[in-house]
Structures are given as C-alpha cells and as structure tokens.
Amino acid sequence: MYILGIDFGSKYLKAALCVRDYQTSGISVKKTVKLPHRASRQGTMIDLVKAKEVFGQMLEKIKCDINESIDEYVINVSGENVGSYSGTSTIPLWKQENEERRVRITRSHVNEVLKAAKMTAYNKDDKVELHSIPQEFQIDDQPATLNPIDMSGIKLKSTVYVIQTDKSHRENICSIFDSFGIKNYRLVFSPLATAEAVIDEDDKEAGVIVISLGDQTTELTVYLNGILRMSKMIPFGSNYITKDLKILLKTDYPTANRIKKTVATAFPGDADPEKMIQVENSSSQKTEFSEEYIAKITEARLKEIFEFVTREIYKGSYQRMIHSPVIITGPASCLKGTEKLFSEMNNSKTTCGKAMDIRSEKEELTPDFFTAAGLVKYAVVNDIFSDRDEAEEGGFMSRIKQFVADLF
C-alpha cells in the first residue's frame, strides 16, 4: 500500500512515496521527487493555478514507474495563518442534588471537559481545526494523568492543544486534491511532520525540542512526557542569510546562496580571518572578503532566527528542556556551525536530526525530504486515516482524539 507525503514548501514541492515497514513499524521510502515552483510564499499558497500545475507534474513523475495506485496522500500545511493555542478548562463532576460529592469519571465527563477546553482555544469564526491534541487531565489536586476514566473526584481539569488555520487556506489546499479527483488525503501541520521524521516514541517520552530550518520558514516542536506541548512555524528562514550575503558582498542571489552553502559558517570562531574569498559582483568584477567577515554576516542573521525560536520556547516555559539535547534539522541546517551556534547561545546540547524509523531503499534520505517522509510517518504513527471503529479499538489516547474530533 502506497502512501504519498507531499511537502509543499515555499520554493520546492518535495514528495516521498512510501510504504509501511511492518518489521520496524516505521516506513520505507520508495521514491522521492523534488520540483521547483512559484506557487507559495513563506509556506502559504499564493497561486493556486501554479500549485495545481506543479502538483500534476509531481504526480506524473511519482506514478511513472509504479504499477499499483497510491492509496493515501498526506500534505503539509504551513504559513503564517496557522496558529496553535492551548485551551484549559475545569468542570465540576458533582451535581448539587448528590449527597456524595465525589463522582467516578466516565467517558462523557472526559468528553465534556475536552469540549470546554477546546472552546477556550478557539479564537475566530473563520478558522478551521487541523489538529486537537489532548494533554493531561487533573482530578482535584491529584497528579496529572493521561487517563482519568474510573477515577473519582470533585472536579476535572483538562488541556487541549489546538492547531488551526484560516478556512480559505484549507480550502485552497483541498481544491488541489479535488481537481485531481483525489479523495483519500489528510492535512498535517508541517512542523509536526518534520519532527516526526527525526524522533521516536522514546524521544517524545523523555522530552525533546526539534528545530527545523527551511528556506522561508523555521519550525519548532516540543514533546514532553509523550505528549505534544508546542508546535510553531516562524515565518522566516535561511533565505534571509542569502539576502544579507547578497547585499553585503555586493553580488547576485545565486552566488550568495552558493557562498552560504560552501564557504559560510555560522560560527565565526571556526573561520579563518586570513583566508580571502573572491566574490563575483554585479559588474562581473571580483571583490575579496575574508572568510571571517562572511561568517559574521551569517552568524548575525542565524542568531536572530534562533532568538525567535528561543523566545517561543521560553513563552511555553520549556526553557529547562533546552539543556537536554535539542535536535536541529531541515535543509538549511546543513549550514556549517549551525548546531554549534545554537549550543553556544543557549548553553545547550544540540544534535543533528537523523531519519528515525524511516528506511530509504536507495541512498540515505537527506534532510530535504524529512518533511515529506515525516508526513507519512506522522500519518502511520497517529493512525490518521483510520475510521472511527478502528480508532475505538486503539489506545485510550486515540479514542480521546476521536472524541475531540467528533465534538465539532
């Protein structure tokens, strides 16, 4: 059974055709395709005609040497109009007429408190939900639990993490599938998919921060005690470094991008102040700049991006987790010195993201395709294509998720 992960990035559409890997309960990538386009900016679609065009080209390339049909499609949603909010609510369990105030919690209590929590996370009528992820429950002053059913208490508190986007944004993405007659598809918030590609369930349980650097976006995801705590998209990325290099080195964009990939380091301490780099300028002459100067430009901009990320981590009060390994990934994390800079700024231990439970039949999967493959892994791990009956058979959390999904 084929599942296609489609990462509609700001400049490239990257797709990964995958199958479930029943041996590792992960996934196996059969084929990847990467195509340039001009259909979106900073993760948001701005030209639907061009989007459909490149989507069609991608489908042709993916399907050209497979015999079976594609069963499921998972596409990412990104952009500034995706927001994530935490909602918390407490409901009393007892009724006035009851003599015994302590009540045993049933599924309908859970249903009620999740619905109330979710209402507090909604902020606008023109928004539509992408994900709602239940957090812990708390009964009176007892320790938090993931499963409050059959426990007794007077009041029940719950928190739900809701990720929502504009209705029109969702409709635009859905219209691409509609125009190709594809029905079996799901939308997943991009940072969730990228994080899924580089972590496993043990990481989620132990607590992990994943930062993914893209061209026009930076993604941040935090898991703690096995539960998603935060997932955000910051609307700027590595292209700002290229733009700075272009201006300050007085060159064109492609040259600046090449210098970023081959010469630049985000850690000036590693650059040679004596080594001069020849840069072609717009009048075809060459100017020389020291490697250290190029590194300082690069460092300044990446520092700014990391400051945005750290601010979000602090806003969510997850700063303590910065000292456990932080995983940095994404195509732009290939910039030399990236992890070292984050590590020095935050006194943290950083590691480079590696594909987890994702096998690749040919060469090793590069960070370029982590989001595309992560979309498929997210769909498999969270069983997002299963219907209600299947979800009922699953664990408690999947049933809870189904409750929440059914509430609206």
Ligand X SMILES: Nc1ncnc2c1ncn2[C@@H]1O[C@H](COP(=O)(O)OP(=O)(O)OP(=O)(O)O)[C@@H](O)[C@H]1O
The residue ranges that bind Mg ion (CB under 5 A) are 9, 214, 371
The alpha carbon torsion through 227, 229, 234, 238 (nearest 10 deg) reads -50
Nearer to ligand X, 198 or 404 (CB): 198
Q: Are 18 and 27 in contact (CB under 8 A)?
A: yes
User: Least distance (Å) from ligand X to the CB of residue 14?
Assistant: 6
Encoding tokens for residue 364? 């090793």
Nearer to ligand X, 11 or 296 (CB): 11
335 binds, among Mg ion, ligand X, none (CB under 5 to 8 A by kind): ligand X
Q: Which of 220, 228, 197, 131 is nearest to 371 (CA)?
A: 197
239 binds, among Mg ion, ligand X, none (CB under 5 to 8 A by kind): ligand X
Q: Are 161 and 135 in contact (CB under 8 A)?
A: yes
User: Least distance (Å) from ligand X to the CB of residue 333?
Assistant: 8
Q: Which helix (H) or strand (E) covers residue 177, if one does?
A: helix 167-179
Nearer to ligand X, 122 or 240 (CB): 240
Say which residues have a Cβ less than 8 Å from residue 221's Cβ, sequence separation at least 6. Answer: 191, 192, 194, 195, 209, 210, 212, 228, 230, 231, 232
User: Least distance (Å) from ligand X to the CB of residue 361?
Assistant: 22
Pairing of strands 2-8, 70-77: parallel
User: Least distance (Å) from ligand X to the CB of residue 291?
Assistant: 15
332 binds, among ligand X, Mg ion, none (CB under 5 to 8 A by kind): ligand X
Q: Are 372 and 7 in contact (CB under 8 A)?
A: yes
Nearer to ligand X, 277 or 400 (CB): 277
User: Least distance (Å) from Mg ion to the CB of residue 306?
Assistant: 17
Nearer to ligand X, 40 or 159 (CB): 40
Largest CA distance in the chain: 89
238 binds, among Mg ion, ligand X, none (CB under 5 to 8 A by kind): ligand X
User: Least distance (Å) from Mg ion to the CB of residue 218?
Assistant: 9
User: Least distance (Å) from ligand X to the CB of residue 213?
Assistant: 7
Report DSSP state, residue 73: E
User: Least distance (Å) from ligand X to the CB of residue 219?
Assistant: 8
367 binds, among ligand X, Mg ion, none (CB under 5 to 8 A by kind): none
Q: How far is CA 25 from the centre of its chain?
A: 21
Encoding tokens for residue 298? 């690069």
41 binds, among Mg ion, ligand X, none (CB under 5 to 8 A by kind): none
**Residue linked to tokens 């750290």:** 310
The residue whose Cβ lies closest to Mg ion is 214
215 binds, among Mg ion, ligand X, none (CB under 5 to 8 A by kind): ligand X
Nearer to ligand X, 332 or 379 (CB): 332
User: Least distance (Å) from ligand X to the CB of residue 87?
Assistant: 28
Nearer to Mg ion, 172 or 371 (CB): 371
Binding site for ligand X (CB under 6 A): 9-12, 43, 214-217, 237-239, 242, 257, 260-261, 330-332, 334-335, 368
Nearer to Mg ion, 9 or 87 (CB): 9
Nearer to ligand X, 149 or 300 (CB): 300
Say which residues have a Cβ less than 8 Å from residue 301's Cβ, sequence separation at least 6. Answer: 240, 241, 244
296 binds, among Mg ion, ligand X, none (CB under 5 to 8 A by kind): none
User: Least distance (Å) from ligand X to the CB of residue 190?
Assistant: 7
Q: Are 305 and 237 in contact (CB under 8 A)?
A: yes
Cα-based distances in Å from 58 to 17, 105, 189, 275, 366: 11, 50, 21, 43, 19
Q: Are 19 and 28 in contact (CB under 8 A)?
A: yes
Nearer to ligand X, 105 or 279 (CB): 279
Beta strands in 201-342 (DSSP E): 208-213, 218-224, 227-234, 276-280, 286-290, 326-329
Beta strands in 38-170 (DSSP E): 40-41, 44-45, 70-77, 82-92, 103-104, 127-139, 152-153, 155-166
